[in-house]
Amino acid sequence: LYLYKIESIMKNKNILILGSTGFIGRSLTKKLLSKGHQITSPVRNPDKVKRNILSGDIGQINIIPFNVSNLYSIEADIKEADIIVNLLGILFEKPNRSFDTIHYHVPKVISDITNKYNKRFIHISSLGSTTETKSSYLYSKALGEHYIETNHNNYSIIKPSIVFGEEDNFLNQFGYMTKFLPFLPLYKKGNTKFQPIYLDDLTSFISKIIDSDDSNFLNKSIDAVGPNIYSFKEILEMIFEIVKKKKRFINIPDFFASLQGRLMGALPNPPFTYDQFLSLSHDSISPGADKFIKASLGRELSSMKLVASNYLKKFIDKV
């Protein structure tokens, strides 16, 4: 037992996670804490870390103040960490929070600092990122990836498609809309394709990379996808089926969709933006990439329909 404890301590790492309080960050933090790793959590709002703290032992999470306007304030903490994971990302811009800042400038600076101290850098980006797009979201993601790939010597870039799970903002949003709308909107005729990955599968894969020295993960960009490809319309049809409602859609022509995106984009927390409309011109799929994730985890990947059926039932109308 004594030798086991010594071996366990030797294996445990100090992992600095940027974005630990987000949807993916909470799941990853909980998973790493359960393995005995020490977590350094740079946060703007310490109150959001409470759920993470409850998942670990006393002193297992080190909370430090952080603001993207002063990234070098955490340089000393990066120097002391074994691995740095960047989960920071936004779906819409605000006056003080642009795509360029979060998706390009932040990974650029963190890449430089981690490279300076020869630290392993795991960066979570987005499937479908490209410079051949009008979407600022996808363009900025591509710039961040390119900088890391050309300037770092110990990185892994993970590019998930839609990530679904109990607290996601995708399936839950449309599930909620079925409560008060007689139909769901179809943009681009519902033809945009996605290859969604379950939150637990994604964070298990990231955890696997953290615990592994496998060269298959080193200096690679890896598409993180689930086992099934769906069109946007097929996903909405699945939601209707789960909440036991008749499938009703309304096709939103591009002109009205772009106008709707511009108007909604002015809201504090917009459900739909013009940039999201632009991103729907790009599929988010990587056929066959699921086999690598499956082989790495040594198990089957989760079915979206099966998992979503459990947490979307809350939107079924009660008689």
CA distances from 88 to 42, 166, 200, 252 (A): 11, 20, 18, 31
Q: Nearest CA to 164 among 174, 154, 178? A: 174
User: What is the mean predicted confidence (pLDDT) over 38-62?
Assistant: 77
Evaluate whether 95 touches 135 at the Cβ level (below 8 Å). Answer: no
CA distances from 39 to 32, 122, 282 (A): 8, 15, 36
Which is it for strands 83-86 and 14-18: parallel, antiparallel or unpaired?
parallel
Q: Which amino acid is at 149?
A: E
CA atoms within 13 A on the CB side of 163: 24
**pLDDT tens digits, 85-137:** 999 999 999 888 999 999 999 999 999 999 999 999 999 999 999 999 999 99
Asked whether the predicted pLDDT for residue 297 surpasses 60, the reply is yes
DSSP bridge partners of 105: none
Report the C-alpha gap between 102 and 83 in whole angstroms: 20
**Higher-pLDDT residue of 10, 291:** 291
What is the pLDDT, as a whole number, of residue 45? 78
What pTM did the predictor assign?
0.94
Asked whether the CA dihedral 51, 53, 55, 61 is positive or negative, the reply is positive
User: What is the mean predicted confidence (pLDDT) over 150-174?
Assistant: 97
What is the pLDDT, as a whole number, of residue 28? 97
**pLDDT tens digits, 214-269:** 888 999 999 999 999 999 999 999 999 999 999 999 999 999 999 999 999 999 99
Evaluate whether 31 touches 48 at the Cβ level (below 8 Å). Answer: no
Render the burial of 242-278: b for 16+ CB within 10 Å, e for the rest. Answer: bbebeeeeeebeeeebeebbeebbeeeebebbbbbbb
Asked whether the predicted pLDDT for residue 202 surpasses 80, the reply is yes
- Local confidence band at 8 (pLDDT 50, 70, 90 cut-offs): very low
User: What is the mean predicted confidence (pLDDT) over 271-284?
Assistant: 97
Written as six digits, the tokens of 173 are 């949003």
Q: Nearest CA to 86 among 13, 161, 155, 4? A: 155
Render the burial of 19-49: b for 16+ CB within 10 Å, e for the rest. Answer: bbbbbbbbbbbbbbbeeebbbbbbbeeeebb
Asked whether the predicted pLDDT for residue 151 surpasses 70, the reply is yes
Asked whether the predicted pLDDT for residue 48 surpasses 90, the reply is no
- Local confidence band at 10 (pLDDT 50, 70, 90 cut-offs): very low
Report the C-alpha gap between 137 and 287 in whole angstroms: 23
User: What's the chain's average pLDDT?
Assistant: 93
Evaluate whether 230 touches 193 at the Cβ level (below 8 Å). Answer: yes
Evaluate whether 171 touches 199 at the Cβ level (below 8 Å). Answer: no
Alpha carbon dihedral 216, 217, 223, 227, in 10-degree steps, equals 70
Written as six digits, the tokens of 37 are 């790793």
What is the pLDDT, as a whole number, of residue 40? 96
Asked whether the predicted pLDDT for residue 55 surpasses 60, the reply is yes
Backbone angles phi, psi at 154, to 5 degrees: -155, 65
What is the pLDDT, as a whole number, of residue 96? 84
Q: Per mean pLDDT, which range of 50-64, 72-86, 139-153, 180-194 is the poorest?
A: 50-64
